[in-house]
Amino acid sequence: MNMRIDEPQDEAKNAAAALKTLKTWLETAPEAERAARAAELAALTGSELSRDYDSEFAVDAAYRESLPDLQNGPASLIRGQNRPIQHVGISNFRLPLRHPTRAGAPQLLETSVTGTVSLEAEQKGINMSRILRSFYAHAEKEMGLGVVAAALDDYKRDLGSFDARIALRFAFPMQVESLRSGLSGYQYYDVTLELAEAAGARSAVLHLDYVYSSTCPCSLELSEHARASRGRLATPHSQRSVARISVALTEAPLTVEDLVDLCRAAVPTETQVMVKREDEQAFAELNAANPIFVEDAVRLFAEKLQADPRVGDFRVVASHKESLHSHDAVSVLCEGKTFAADTLDPRLFAAL
């Protein structure tokens, strides 16, 4: 009598191979046919799916290896045109990070992180969770440029990409004294630290939103004319204004506080935190001493940035939220190739 003691093993292997084939048949189905194929597969196998969550189930290496991974599948699974993608990843995953300060002691701040990598034309996709896992390996460190650069290297290695980008967005607090009363309070600055690598070249950019008051020079002169020629009380219009300052960082260190100081030196009418009557009067005097059009604002910022050796290329985007008009006055000034562009993001000014 001929007996094959390995028949049960062969049957198990054949069954596993058949099941794998059926899974592939299901996974490669056009989206419109997938539900029908799933029902057909269930009918063929005679299985009834349980609706109970199995809290006792433990994943072992073999089970993990059996899990389908469509994003690492063959190029035949790509939908649409097989083209490289410049940026793919995740945006706005948040965690507390320690950011460096000029004084030395880091500040723990809630940070929104965007991480992206490039994707080659023949690759189906990326495993998004690897971006989080790669970044979390550095989350307990102080987020200087060196640490962010190490996280960028991990992105490229873990996801097999040539290019990568990390942006850390956070609100940076600085204590600000009032103009005359001696009080102080915290001003929060919207900051983004961005590190990117493309075609082997790496660049670091610091973005800062600086909020200030802009008094219209024309309105100021017209108000004075009404006082002098007709004895009429008139007030010039002024408005809250925002400048988004973006600077390419060089090897010389530049902190958030340093960039704020440059902005204050250029346009000293920063909005106030703690205000008593004497401070409000002082702010009115400060605005009268520094009236600016939006064209003046970007040039004043550029003057200070250009003179500082710690600043490389830069861009200034200013928006004056007009109180006279129902529209805003805007201006953009760029220095260097880093920010040169023939078109503007349609939402550029709306984001200020």
- The CATH number linked to 247 is 3.10.270.10
322 and 230 in a common domain: yes
Establish if 51 belongs to a structural domain: no
Kindly report, residue by residue over 42-84, the tens digit of the pLDDT. Answer: 766 666 677 889 999 999 999 898 888 888 888 888 899 999 9
Establish if 34 belongs to a structural domain: no
- State residue 48's pLDDT score: 67
pLDDT-derived band at 8, boundaries 50, 70, 90: low
188 and 331 in a common domain: yes
Q: What share of the chain is helix, strand, coil (3-state, %, to 5)?
A: 35, 30, 35
Calculate the average pLDDT of the chain.
91
pLDDT above 60 (res 277): yes
Full domain range(s) for residue 107: 86-162
254 and 210 in a common domain: yes
Residues 6+ apart with CB under 8 A from 301: 243, 245, 262, 263, 266, 267, 316, 318, 333
- State residue 80's pLDDT score: 93
Establish if 270 belongs to a structural domain: yes
Q: Which of 118, 133, 162 is the last residue of a domain?
A: 162
234 and 92 in a common domain: no
- State residue 150's pLDDT score: 93
331 and 205 in a common domain: yes
Cβ–Cβ < 8 Å for 223, 287: no
312 and 228 in a common domain: yes
Is the pTM higher than 0.85? The answer reads no
Q: Which of 162, 197, 213 is the last residue of a domain?
A: 162
pLDDT above 90 (res 189): yes
Establish if 167 belongs to a structural domain: no
pLDDT above 80 (res 35): no
Amino acid at 105: A
- State residue 2's pLDDT score: 53
196 and 90 in a common domain: no
Residue written as token pair 């530049």: 254
Residues 6+ apart with CB under 8 A from 214: 238, 239, 241, 269, 291, 292, 293, 294, 297, 320
CA–CA gap between residue 297 and residue 320 (Å, rounded):
10
Establish if 267 belongs to a structural domain: yes
330 and 190 in a common domain: yes
- State residue 264's pLDDT score: 98
pLDDT above 60 (res 5): no
- State residue 46's pLDDT score: 61
208 and 124 in a common domain: no
- State residue 47's pLDDT score: 61
- State residue 4's pLDDT score: 53
Mean pLDDT of 233-251: 96
Q: Which of 26-40, 56-70, 105-119, 228-242 has the lowest mean pLDDT?
A: 26-40
124 and 92 in a common domain: yes
In the chain, % of residues over pLDDT 90:
68
Q: Which of 110-124, 179-193, 338-352 has the lowest mean pLDDT?
A: 338-352
Q: Which of 107, 133, 162 is the last residue of a domain?
A: 162
- State residue 6's pLDDT score: 55
Mean pLDDT of 284-299: 97
- State residue 38's pLDDT score: 75
pLDDT above 90 (res 18): no
In the chain, % of residues over pLDDT 70:
95
CA–CA gap between residue 174 and residue 119 (Å, rounded):
40
234 and 275 in a common domain: yes
Establish if 321 belongs to a structural domain: yes
Number of domains in the chain: 2
Mean pLDDT of 198-206: 93
Please indicate whether residue 38 or residue 300 has the higher confidence score (pLDDT): 300
Establish if 17 belongs to a structural domain: no
- State residue 220's pLDDT score: 96
254 and 193 in a common domain: yes
Establish if 8 belongs to a structural domain: no
